[in-house]
Structures are given as structure tokens and as C-alpha cells.
Structure 1
């Protein structure tokens, strides 16, 4: 198999921010062609989870997503902070902050590239089980979300009916349901 990796000849940052960084690379393809500029978005890595309560109910959140200009039904997820020790630690923190639930077990189900053509970050997907409500939500200043409990069958139907519009969440639900052996 041939090596298809591009050689990065140079990089220049166009914009740097907490939530999005844009750089312009000059790249050389294996066939010698130069690609200039090739824009790359730098994001932090992300986590999300199919989260089940002690009663085997799936925990969903409804929130407004400004990029899509829609209110969507999603699973819990968030950004891995520099202070987080691991992706598992991050998803446990996000689940507690966004829903007030703690979980007996958290198991990684997938690692996904959100858009590998223009960004290098990954999303770690988890299945969390045995959730118990132990606290109230502690939301970031830009978060406003509603927690909704549904059955695993309802979650499966949402996936099959294309009602989960966030692609990384739909992928993670697929892997979570597969791990539960219900898909």
C-alpha cells in the first residue's frame, strides 16, 4: 500500500480562540502537488455518552444549538478540559454537571473523528450505566438545557427514524445500543 500522507511545509495561524482556532497550512502531496492554503480548524477533543439510569432509562438533553439554529434532542457531551485527567473523567464530570447524575460504570464504546478532512480532534464515546440523581445541574453560562428520560426502545427508535440530528451523537448512540446488544 502506498503512503498517502501529506508533508506539512508550513503553518500560519489565522485566528486563535478558546473555542476555535484556524490555521492555514502549505502541504505537499506524495505526487509532488502543493496545496496552498489548506485550512485546518483546531478544536479540543470531545466526549459524549449514552447514559442509563438505575431504572434503565436513557438520559437525554434538549438544548438550542445556534450553528443549526434549532433546538435538538441529544445525549450528554462536552469538551475535554486541560484539567481533566482522562476522557472518562471528563464524561463523568459532564454527566454530573448537565444532569445531576452519577454512574456506577462508564465504558468507552468508540473513538470518532468529527471531520478529519479539516480538523484533527476526536470524540470519545461512552456507555454509562447505573445512573442515580445526586445533585442539581451546574451549567455553564452559555448552557440552558432540559433533561429528559426515555426508554432504551425509544432511544433506538429515535436513531432508526433519523431524529438524532447531531451526527456524533447518532454515531455514539449506535455504538452504545450495539454494546447493549439491542441493535
Structure 2
């Protein structure tokens, strides 16, 4: 089968979600500086990152002649971006901060092919109060490492989620409603 798009991400979750809607893709991850700029708002940051990833993906994959899809996801608590934990101390601190609170997950999707289209999903995620032993056990599971906000909603982290208002797939890293709209706008087949 011929690929429809290039996915500028190595994320297994994004690949799984694209597969869910039957998009045929080639994986060509990009590597760029994801430094948060001083005074940059979380929404601006996530949109910038997705746009820069798709632009770099298009530049790196011009020979393929396919549209490039990229995304970026951040966890935001009190208008502060919580990135991927650097170590155990950082992960435990994130879990403690999220405990008993509602935070937002912003996921921006950027598609470059016939022009540039972009969309953003913002989801409210409420965590129940977490016991210290749960926080430590979760870290010891290995799941929080490399995850925005130090948790994976599609994994064991789901037991911490009391409620969600918005896009589950957006929290996973690729909001399917918004992604499908972008693909449709550019005439890219799925399903």
C-alpha cells in the first residue's frame, strides 16, 4: 500500500492512533530544540513546536513528495508547562502537584502538504488525590519516564484520572477529531 503521509514522530501512541483511523503513513521522526522561550504562553509553545516539527519534517522528506503530519503535547497546570520528567525526583514532584487538581493537556497538530493547516485540542483532566505510596509505585513501574506531565492516560496512569473533559486521543498525543479535519481539508484519505 502507498503511504498517504509522513509522520514526523517516533511516538508509538501517535502511530497507534493513526492506525486506528486507517491512515497509511511512513515514520520519519525529526529532532529539534524544544526549549520553552521565556514568557511564552503554553498554547503558543505547543503550536510553535508542532509547526516547527512539520516544517523540518517536510524539509527532510521532500524526496517523498508526501504531506507531513507532526504534533506536540504538553501538560499545563496553573498556566505552567509540565514537561517530561528529568529524573525520579522530578516525576514524583509532578505527580504530587497534579494530585487532587485539574490540569489541561494541549495537543497541537500541524499538517504540511497543500499549504499548512494546524489545529489544537485542549482537554481538562482531573486527578483524584494520590497517596504517596501510589506515586512511588507508579514511578517504579517505569511508565512516567518520557511522558509529558509524568503520566500516560492510556496506561496505568488512567487509575489517577477522576474525570476528563475533552479529547482522550488528544491526551494520548494525537486528537483524532482535529487530525481527521486537517486530513480532510487536504484531501488525504483515511478510514
- State the TM-score, normalized to the length of structure 2: 0.28
> Of the two, which has the highest radius of gyration?
1
Which structure shows the bigger proportion of residues in strand conformation? 1
